[in-house]
Structure 1
Amino acid sequence: MDDIQTIKRVKTFVLPDKCFEKRVACAWRRGNKFSVYPRSQKPNKTTSESSVKTDDKILVISQEIGLFSPILRRLVNEANGTFLSVRKVSETSKNSDNQVEFLKLSRQYRSIIRVCIESLQEAGEKEEDGVTRNDLLSYITIFYSIECIWHLCEILFIDIIPGDVVLPFLLEWVRFHFPRHEQTAAQLLESCERGSEDHPDYWDTVVGMVVQGRVDVARALLKLHSAVDSNEFKLVDNSLRSMPVYSVYGGISTGEFTISWKHWQAECRSKLNSRLLGQQPQLELVMRIMTGEYSAFESIRGKYTSWFDVLGGWLLFTAPWARRHELGSAA
C-alpha cells in the first residue's frame, strides 16, 4: 500500500516573475513585515536600463492580524467599553462597596465573549475556504477557553457566595461548560427504554452525572438498566438517594453536615468492602467515586478532556463543605 501522507494546507502566494529577473532581495520592516524587491548586481547607467527599472515593484508582505476581522474588532470595541466601566467602578470602590457592580460587569464581559463565539461559529459554517475555516475554529477554541477560565475566576474572586461554600457554584460551572454527559443523559431519558445499557456511552454518562453531582439524573439512568431490580442496583440507588447535600439555608451548621457526610461515606465504604458489588464493576466504580477514592478518579481521568471536568466531583466527594480559601488544601 502506498504511504498516505497528511498534507496541511497553508496560505501561499506567487511572486511576479519580474522579481527574479535581476535577482531578488528581502529586507525586514517595522512590525511583522518584510519587503521583497528586485536586486540588480550591476549599477544602471543607461537611460534604457532606467526606463526598464521603472516597472520594478516593492512587495510588502505582512502577517495577517486576526483582530482586524469584523467579528473580533466588534469584540475588542465592546470589551473596551466594559473595561472602561470597570475602571470607573474601581475608582468609586475606594469609598463604597461595589461588589455587585463588579459582578455585573464580569458577567457582561463573558456575555460579549459568548456572542463573539456564536458569531465565529456562524461564520465557520458559511466559510468555504478550508484554511480560513480552521482559523475560525482556532479562535472559537481560544475564546471558549478564555470565557471558561474567566467564569471560574469570577466564582473564586468576584461572586458573592453565601457562607463562602463554593461547591454549588463550581458544580454549576462544570455543568455549564462541560454539558457532554448531560446531553447524552437527556437523549437516553427521552427514549426511556429498558436495556439502555447497550448504548455505548451509557456507563460513561452515569459516571459523568455522579461526578457532576447530578444524583437524580444518575438514579434515573440506572433505572433504565435491565438489571435495575437486582440487589446491587438497589444498594447503589439507596446510597445515592441518601447522600447528604449541604445548603447554607438548610438549617444545619457546617460541623453537623460534616458529621452526617462522613457517616454516609462510611456506610458507602462498608458496602464497598463487603464485595456485594463484585459482579458489577461499573456500579463498584460509582461507589468508589462516592467514597472519594483517588484511584477511582484516576481511572476515569482519561475519559475527560481536562481536569476541569472532574474538579467539582472531586471536591464534592472529598470536601463538600470547603470554602474558597480552603480550595488549595482540598486540591
Structure 2
Amino acid sequence: MEDIQAVKRVKTFILPDKCFENRVACAWRRGNKFSIYPRSQIPNKTTSESDNKTADKILVFNQEILLFTPILRKLVNEANGTFLSLKKVTETSKNTENQVEYLKLSRQYRSIIRVCIENLQEAGEKEEDAVARNNLLSYLTIFYSIECIWHLCEILYIDIIPGDIVLPFLLEWVRFHFPHHEQSAVQLLESCERGSEDNPDYWDTVVGMVVQGRVDVARALLKLHSAVDTNEFKLVDNSLRSMPVYSVYSGISTGEFTISWKHWQAECRSKLSSRLLAHQPQLELIMRIMTGDYSAFESIRGKYSSWFDVLGGWVMFTTPWARRRELGAAAAACAGLAVGGGGHLDVMVRAALEGDLYLVIHEIQQMADNGWFATHLTDVLLQCGKLHILDKHQTDVTSRLRDSLVLEYGSLLLEHQSLWPVGLSYLASVPDGARRAELMLERIPIRTEGKALRVVAEAKKYGLLGVAQSVCSCMSARALSRGAAGAALAWGARARSAAQCARAAHRALRAYCAGGALPAADLLLTAGATLLVDDTLLLLGKYCDFHRLYKSREFKKAAKLLVSLITSNIAPDYFWATLLLDALPLLETEEPVLSAADSYELMLCLELRAACLARPQAELLRLALARNLARTALHDVQHD
C-alpha cells in the first residue's frame, strides 16, 4: 500500500528543450533545489568550433514550501515562541509536575492554528483569482485536519481529566470539529414554531443532537413537534430527561453510576419491546440509539460525512464510563459503520484512539505542511512523557525521532531569506543541530551589511564563533575590493583577523599617503585592545590618535606619541616619509615640545631613513631638528 501511495506522489516533468534529449545530468544545489543540465559532449576535431557550440540551458527545480507562503509566516513565528517556552519549562523541571504548563502550551499551539485558519478563510473570501482561491482552500483543509488531530491528541495524552472519564471531552471534540445539524437546530429554535416537523431537516437535526449528546437541545426540538403532548413524545422526553450523566464531582463512584446507567437502559429497552413507539418510527430510532443499538447507528451513518460524527454518541450510549485507553474498541465499532476505505484523517483518528502514536506520527508526516505539525506535536508529547517509540530491536528511539524532526524542520526554515533565525532556534535545541547550523548559516546569501550584522549576531548568540569570524572576514574582503578601507577595517576588527586588518590598514595608509583622508577614525579611537591584533592596525590607530591630539592643540602629548611611533619601527617603508615630515610642525612651535633626547632620536631615524625623503625635505628636517636642539638647550639654561 505504501508503495502505491509513493507512486501516486511522483510528479513528472517534461523537459522543454532539445538540449535535454541526450546526456542529461542532475546536481543538488543549496537547500531544496536541484539543477538539470545537458552534459557537454567531447568536441570533435573534424567539426568547426561553431558546430560544437550548443544553446545549452540549466533548469532549476525547487520544492514548493507551504510554510513560506506569506499568509503562514505568522504561524511559523508564533509557534516558535511556544516551542521555546516549552523548552524552557522542560529545562527548569525534570519531572512531570509541569503537566498544567504542558496543557497550557498545547492550547497555545491550537489557538495559533485557529488564528491561521481564520486568516485563510478571510483571504479565501477576498481572493478573486480562482487558482489562488483553490490554493487557500487546500491550505484550509490541511490546517483543519491538523487542528482536529491536535485537539484529539490533547484530550487523550496531554489533558488532565478527573477520573480519566473521557466522554465529556470526546463529545466536546465532536461538537467542535463536526458541527452537523447545528445551524438548522439554531434556526428551528429561533423560530420556535409548533409544527416544525414540516421542515425537511427536522428529524435529522433532532437525531443529530441526540448523537452529539446535546440532550437538552434535542428535548427542546421535540417540544416544537405538533404531537408533543402525545404519550409517545412524553415517553421519549422522560427517557432523555432521566438519562444518568456521570460527574467526578457528584460523589457517585463509577460502579454506582454503571449500575444506574444499566438500569436506565433496561427501562429504555423495555419501552421499545412494548411497541409503544411503533407508530412513531423516528422516536423509535431515537430510543434505539439510546439503547446503543448498532443497527440504529448503521441506519443513520449515511447522514454524516465520517464516522467521527457518531463516535461521541456511540461511546455515550454504550460505555459512558470508558477511560482513554478503552476507546480503541469504540473506534473500531464506529469505523465499521463506514462504507468503503477510510481516508487519511480516518487513519490518524483511529490510530490516536487506539493509542498507536507511532502510526499517528507516521501519518502526519505525510501531510503537506512541511513538517510543522509532526515536529511540534512530537515535541509536546515527548516533553509530557507520553511518547514511547520502539524500533524493531525494542530500543527506545523516541528522543532520536523528535530530534530528527526538529533538525529537518529547522533546516527547512534556514532556507528562507527571513525565517532563517527561527530555524536556528530549532537547531540549537537538538544535539546535532550546531554542526548543521554552522554548515547552513555560512552558506546564507548575504547582500547587505545589515544582513551580515544579523548573521554575525545570531551566530554569536548560538556559539557559532567560526561562522561569525568567517562572515566578518568575507565582508572585510568585499569592502576592500570596492575600495572601502574603513568598512574593511571595521569588519576585520570584528573578525579579529590579523591578515584582514593588515590588508585594510595598509590600504588606508597608502590612500592617506596619496592625499586621502584617514578612514574610520572614530572606530580606531575606540578600538581598544582590538588594535593589538596587527602592528599595522596599531600604527593606524595610534596615528589617528596623534591627529586628534594635534587638532586639539595638545602638542606635547602629540609629540610624545609621534616619537614613540617613529622609534617603534612598526611603520612600513612607504609611511616613513609621512611620519618624519609630521615632526616638522612640532619642531616649529613657539615653545619647544620635543626634548633634546627626542630630537636625537629623530636625528638617528632621519639618518637611517634618509632615502625615504627627497633631499630638500631631509635638509629642511635636519635644520629644524638642529634649531630645536638649540632652543631646548637655551630653555633648560633659563630654567636653571
TM over 0.5: yes
Counterpart CA distance in 1 for 2:33 and 2:294 is 49
Q: From the superposition, tell whether residues 28 and 187 of structure 1 become closer, same or farther in structure 2 (CA, over 3 Å).
A: farther
CA-CA distance at 1:179 after TM superposition: 1.7
1:271 aligns with 2:290: no
Name the residue aligned to 1:149: 149
Aligned pair in 2 of structure 1 residues 294, 14: CA closer, same or farther (>3 Å)? closer
CA spacing shift, 1:66–1:329, aligned 2, 3 Å:
closer
Say whether residues 1:88 and 2:106 are aligned partners: no
Give 1:9's aligned residue: none
Cα deviation per residue 1:204-259 (whole Å; 9 max; x = unaligned)?
A: 11111101111110011111112222221111111111111111112222222111
Aligned to 1:196: 196
What letter corresponds to residue 75 of structure 1 in structure 2?
L
Q: Indicate conservation of the 8 Å contact 2:20/2:37, yes or no.
A: no
1:166–1:93: structure 2 CA closer, same or farther, 3 Å change rule? farther
The corresponding residue for 2:160 is 160
For residues 280 and 41 of structure 2, the distance between their equivalents in structure 1, rounded to whole angstroms, comes to 81
2:119 maps to a residue whose letter is S
TM alignment of 1:44-59, pairs within 5 A: 46=48, 57-59=57-59
Q: Is the 8 A contact 2:25 2:39 kept in 1?
A: no
Q: Tell me which residue corresponds to 1:6.
A: none
State the alpha-carbon separation in 1 of the partners of residues 220 and 113 from structure 2. Answer: 35
* Greater Cα shift, 206-215 or 88-97: 88-97
Q: 1:122 to 1:14 in 2, by over 3 A?
A: farther
Per-residue displacement from partner, 1:48-74 (whole Å, max 9, x unpaired)? 668x85x76434243432222112233
Contact 1:82/1:105 (CA < 8 Å) preserved in 2? Answer: yes
- What CA distance in whole angstroms lies between the structure 2 residues aligned with 1:133 and 1:15? 29
Q: Which residue of 1 aligns with 2:136?
A: 136
DSSP-derived class of the 2:181 partner:
helix
Q: Which residue of 2 aligns with 1:284?
A: 284
1:234 maps onto 2:234 in alignment: yes
Displacement of 1:106: 0.2
Change in CA separation of 1:33 and 1:192 when aligned onto 2, cut-off 3 Å: farther
Alignment partners' CA distance in 1, 2:191 and 2:181: 16
1:35-91 Cα shifts (integer Å, max 9, x gaps): 3669999869656668x85x7643424343222211223322322332232233233
**C-alpha displacement at 1:135, in angstroms?**
2.0
Aligned-partner Cα distance in 1 for 2:110–2:264? 38
| Counterpart for residue 486 of structure 2 | none
Separation in 2, partners of 1:56, 1:179: 58
The 1:73/1:233 distance shift into structure 2, 3 A limit, reads: same
C-alpha spacing 1:32/1:310, structure 2 compared with 1 (3 Å): farther
Distance verdict in 2 for CA 1:23–1:148, change over 3 Å: closer
Measure the CA separation in 2 of the matches of 1:327 and 1:187: 34
Tell me which amino acid in the other structure corresponds to 1:245: V
CA pair 80-38 structure 1, distance change in 2 beyond 3 A: same
1:178, CA displacement in angstroms? 1.6
Corresponding residue pairs, total? 316
Per-residue deviation at 1:114?
A: 1.0
Structure 1 residues 95 and 66 mapped into 2: Cα distance closer, same or farther (>3 Å)?
A: closer
What's the counterpart of residue 222 of structure 1? 222
Tell me which residue corresponds to 2:36.
Answer: 35
Alignment of 1:90-105 (within 5 A): 90-95=90-95, 97-105=97-105
2:622 corresponds to: none
In structure 1, C-alpha distance between the alignment counterparts of 2:120 and 2:184, rounded to whole Å: 25
Tell me by how many angstroms 1:329 deviates: 4.9
* 1:305-316 → structure 2 map (5 Å cutoff): 305-316=305-316
**Aligned partners of 2:103, 2:309: CA distance in 1, in Å?**
24
What is the CA-CA distance between 1:96 and the residue it aligns to? 5.7
- SS of the equivalent of 1:180 reads coil
Paired with 2:209 and 2:238, the residues of 1 have a C-alpha distance of 16
CA distance in 2, matches of 1:313, 1:37: 62
Structure 1 pair 14/216, CA: closer, same or farther in 2 (3 Å)?
same
Amino acid at match of 1:112: I
Task: Tell me what 1:5 maps to.
Answer: none
Offset, 1:288: 0.3
* 2:78 counterpart residue number: 78
For 1:182-193, list aligned pairs within 5 A.
182-193=182-193
Amino acid at match of 1:228: V
Q: Give the residue type in structure 1 aligned to 2:213.
A: G
Change (3 A) 1:42 1:133: farther
CA distance in 2, matches of 1:312, 1:286: 15
The amino acid that maps onto 1:186 is V
Q: Is the 8 A contact 1:166 1:323 kept in 2?
A: yes
Q: Counterpart of 1:285 in structure 2: which amino acid?
A: L
Correspondence for 1:326: 326
Question: Measured at CA, do residues 126 and 46 of structure 1 come closer, stay the same or move farther in structure 2, by a change above 3 Å?
Answer: farther
Distance 1:40 1:204 in 2: 72
1:121 matched residue in structure 2: 121
| CA deviation profile, 1:103-158 (whole Å, cap 9, x unmatched) | 00000000111111111112222223323322221111111111111111111111
Match of 2:556 in 1: none
Larger Rg: 2
Confirm whether residue 177 of structure 1 aligns to residue 177 of structure 2.
yes
- Deviation of the 1:93 alpha carbon: 3.6
Does residue 209 of structure 1 match 2:197? no
Question: Compared with structure 1, are the counterparts of its residues 36 and 252 closer, same or farther at alpha carbon in structure 2 (3 Å cutoff)?
Answer: same
Gaps of 5+ in 2: 1-12, 332-640
Preserved CA contact (<8 Å) 1:124 1:136: yes
Where 2:60 maps in the other structure, the secondary structure is strand
Where 1:193 maps in the other structure, the secondary structure is coil
| Higher-RCO chain (CA-CA 8 Å, sequence separation at least 6) | 1
Q: Secondary structure at the residue paired with 1:179?
A: coil
27 and 323 in structure 1: CA distance in 2 versus 1, 3 angstrom threshold = same
- Between the aligned partners of 2:122 and 2:38, the Cα distance in structure 1 is 40
Alignment RMSD (CA, Å): 2.9
Runs of 5+ consecutive residues of structure 1 not aligned to the other structure: 1-12
| Counterpart code for 2:60 | V
Match of 2:112 in 1: 112
The answer to whether the Cα contact below 8 Å between 1:75 and 1:112 also exists between their aligned partners in 2 is: yes
